[in-house]
Amino acid sequence: MNRRKLLSLLGMSPVLLTGTSVQAQHTEKKAPVSKNSSQGKLTAVNPKGTPPSIQLIPMAPRLDGLDAKTVYLVDTGFHGSDTLLHQVEAWFARNMPQVTIVFRRKAGPYSEDDPKLWKEIKEKGNAVIMAVGH
Amino acid sequence: MGLPTAPMVTIAFKDLALTNAAKRGMPHQRICFTPHPVWGKTDAQMYAYLEGNDPVSGKPLMKEVIDALTKPLTAEESLSGTSTPPVGAPTFIDTSDNLQQYYLDNGMTDFMPIILPTQEKVDAMLKGTSHHPDEVVGKMTPAQGAFPPWSYTVKQCAVNAVMAGATPDYFPTILANASTGISALFSSTNSLVSAAIINGPVRDKLTMNYGIGAMGPFSQPNATIGRAWTLMSKNLDGGGIAGETYMGSQGNIINYNNLIVPENEKDSPWTPFHVQKGFKPEESVVSFFFGFCVTQGQGGKGLGMKPVPHFHEAMSANCAPFASLFGALFLCDPLVANGLGDLGFKTKEQIGDWLQKNTTVTVKDVKTMLFSGLPRGPEAANLTDDMVIPKWPKPDAFNFVVVGGQTNPYHQLGNLSYRLSVSIDKWA
């Protein structure tokens, strides 16, 4: 396809091929000139919305140690989380075999709750390692 | 759960994780950080992460994990009670230049100059609606489920509308946007796009541009209604802070003022979009879309070499690479819509049905594509890799809006899904 036809298809004028400059027919508007150029002080309003108050949540008591304890590894579903947590599992097997490890994939997308899993962990587990934010 | 927990987060998400934990009431949560990324790493590379240091603390990562579960709590970690995050004084007093700098430095702008929201300008904006300045308009969050939503009033919306350069007659449309609680800066690692389709008399009342250059920078209402949406998405919900409440890896240029599309109803052969959604033609309505991207629809199979361009084949070819997680929104110049009519597609539903049946993919390809899923249900058991299936299971994945000035028969298309439609008149 020649350039003239291509320009035409693009909705452009073939005059662009002539190499001559085309005088723009602009009528420029003049910017308004302020009569008062002094910089007085202004009062401007805060654009922020209203955040909810935050209820501080005391953290759960920690364990004395992990010996003979059950630690749940919870995969949030982000890409690579499962690979990372399976290696955490391998790390425990190699370095702390006295810890029981249970791997679980949280149900649904990352932002969805999984009360069934939380119930299971509360009944059978002692601690949780959760991963991962990408 | 009441059990000690050690969250593991990659270093790229440090600010987000710490801020989010604080906003959820655990400002001292023991977060353990891994190098980034974990996606695409081998078992050996992951194990090396674990044998290395936490990039934040500089201490051995797995020791940090064990300590997070076993080290006794400090007094701060055991605190209860409530706190309210500060958002600054109700007003700021300074020179014009200093105020511009203050708003910019405090993340309240889109990093371009704003109209300073003086009380006089905000009061004038409030005259654009019959609603009380203190009325709560809605709640918004940068990402549902990840951040607790903030609430906001008519007045707080008016401040942002002034900053965007809007005039009071645009304000009902801006309030309708705000009432949905949809953030234009949804926080995802995907750099997402938001779109608002505007129908009804408001388009002509505001002299919105739905003709030549409708989606470009050629119209004050188109530009500033969209910009107000972005500013509201930053200020009304604490969103749009890169690395904290916005995580789009590359960002998206459309986020500056979003895709604002007044439909060219008078030159369209089809039913206006809001009427498709159950509104009357005389109602003014804004409809929302959301998804991955917008791209030009020039080219494509069947468009170029036939006496009558086969627009439907081009549209199918152009949306074929899209992810089926979101739908396909076609923004058709009236020449395209009328051309499709000449080809027998007399309604939007007819072209949607054709595209659904004819935009296909092999099962094998679906398995290798991100954000695309195979059909579920009983038929899933019979799928084989070489089978050809529709890319989207239902025709409602395809939506059509007519916009443009008929200088060339083009369409643009977005990998976008419809969310909802709301009345603008309600906010007048």
Residues A29-68 have pLDDT tens digits of 443 343 444 458 999 999 999 999 988 999 999 999 999 9
Q: Do A49 and B29 touch (CB under 8 A)?
A: no
Give the pLDDT of residue B135. Answer: 98
- B44 and B150 part of one domain: no
Partners of residue B47 in chain A, C-beta under 8 Å: 87, 90-91
Position A126 in a domain:
yes
Q: Do B140 and A49 touch (CB under 8 A)?
A: yes
Give the pLDDT of residue B382. Answer: 78
CA B171/CA B152 separation, integer angstroms: 15
3-class DSSP assignment, residue B316: helix
| Structure tokens belonging to residue B199 | 């129908």
Residue type, A49: G
Give the pLDDT of residue B172. Answer: 98
Q: C-alpha A1: how far from its chain's center?
A: 45
Pairing between β-strand B136-140 and β-strand B150-153 as defined by DSSP bridges: antiparallel
- B233 and B380 part of one domain: yes
Position A116 in a domain:
yes
Identify the closest residue of chain A to B137 by CA–CA distance. Answer: A49
Tokens 């709560």 belong to which residue? B136
Number of domains in chain A: 1
Q: Do A51 and B96 touch (CB under 8 A)?
A: no
Whether residue B142 contacts residue B16, with contact meaning beta carbons closer than 8 Å, is answered with no
Note down the domain range covering B247.
Answer: 96-427
pLDDT higher than 50, residue A13:
no
User: Chain A closest CA to B201's CA: distance in Å?
Assistant: 29
Position A42 in a domain:
no
- B283 and B149 part of one domain: yes
Q: Which of the residues A54, A57, A91, A100 would you substitute to probe the B interface, choosing the one with the greatest number of B C-beta atoms within 10 Å?
A: A54
Position B1 in a domain:
no
User: Chain B closest CA to A83's CA: distance in Å?
Assistant: 7
- B236 and B373 part of one domain: yes
pTM of the model: 0.81
Partners of residue A44 in chain B, C-beta under 8 Å: 91-94, 99, 103, 116-118
What is the helix (H) or strand (E) element at residue B128, kind and residue range?
Answer: none
Partners of residue B43 in chain A, C-beta under 8 Å: 83, 86-87, 90
Position A34 in a domain:
no
**Torsion, Cα of B328, B334, B336, B338 (10° steps):** 120
- Nearest Cβ partner of A134 from B12, B80, B237? B12
Tokens 């604080």 belong to which residue? B22
Number of domains in chain B: 2
**Residues 6 or more apart from B374 whose CB is under 8 A from it?**
B363, B366, B367, B380, B383, B389
**Residues 6 or more apart from B387 whose CB is under 8 A from it?**
B362, B363
Nearest alpha carbon to residue B8 among B17, B16, A127 = B17
Identify the closest residue of chain A to B98 by CA–CA distance. Answer: A41
User: Chain A closest CA to B413's CA: distance in Å?
Assistant: 18
Strand partners, A70: A100
Boundary of a domain, candidates B28, B44, B78: B78
Position A38 in a domain:
no
- B203 and B109 part of one domain: yes
- B25 and B128 part of one domain: no
Whether residue B421 contacts residue B274, with contact meaning beta carbons closer than 8 Å, is answered with yes
Average pLDDT over residues A111-134: 90
Identify the closest residue of chain A to B81 by CA–CA distance. Answer: A56
- Nearest Cβ partner of B87 from A46, A53, A90? A46
Q: Do A58 and B78 touch (CB under 8 A)?
A: yes
Strand partners, A74: A104, A130
Give the pLDDT of residue B301. Answer: 74
Q: Which of the residues A6, A9, A43 would you substitute to probe the B interface, choosing the one with the greatest number of B C-beta atoms within 10 Å?
A: A43
- Nearest Cβ partner of B39 from A49, A54, A79? A79
Boundary of a domain, candidates B78, B109, B124: B78
Partners of residue B49 in chain A, C-beta under 8 Å: 84, 87
Position B231 in a domain:
yes
- B131 and B210 part of one domain: yes
Note down the domain range covering A118.
Answer: 70-131
Position A104 in a domain:
yes
Give the pLDDT of residue A6. Answer: 36
CA B37/CA B40 separation, integer angstroms: 8
The segments of chain B whose pLDDT lies below 70 read 304-306, 370-372, 375-378
Residue type, B147: F
- B266 and B409 part of one domain: yes
Q: Which of the residues A84, A98, A113 would you substitute to probe the B interface, choosing the one with the greatest number of B C-beta atoms within 10 Å?
A: A84
Identify the closest residue of chain A to B6 by CA–CA distance. Answer: A129
CA B238/CA B23 separation, integer angstroms: 11
CA B142/CA B146 separation, integer angstroms: 8
- B247 and B281 part of one domain: yes
Partners of residue A110 in chain B, C-beta under 8 Å: 145
CA B205/CA B221 separation, integer angstroms: 10
Position B423 in a domain:
yes
Q: Backbone phi, then psi, for B45, in 5-degree steps? A: -65, -40
3-class DSSP assignment, residue B418: strand
- B136 and B64 part of one domain: no
At A20, the pLDDT band (50, 70, 90 cuts) reads very low
- B230 and B372 part of one domain: yes
Q: Do B29 and A59 touch (CB under 8 A)?
A: yes
Position B84 in a domain:
no
Length of chain B: 428
Give the pLDDT of residue B227. Answer: 98
- B126 and B212 part of one domain: yes
Partners of residue A118 in chain B, C-beta under 8 Å: 1
User: Chain A closest CA to B281's CA: distance in Å?
Assistant: 33
Position A49 in a domain:
no
CA B326/CA A71 separation, integer angstroms: 38
Identify the closest residue of chain A to B16 by CA–CA distance. Answer: A133
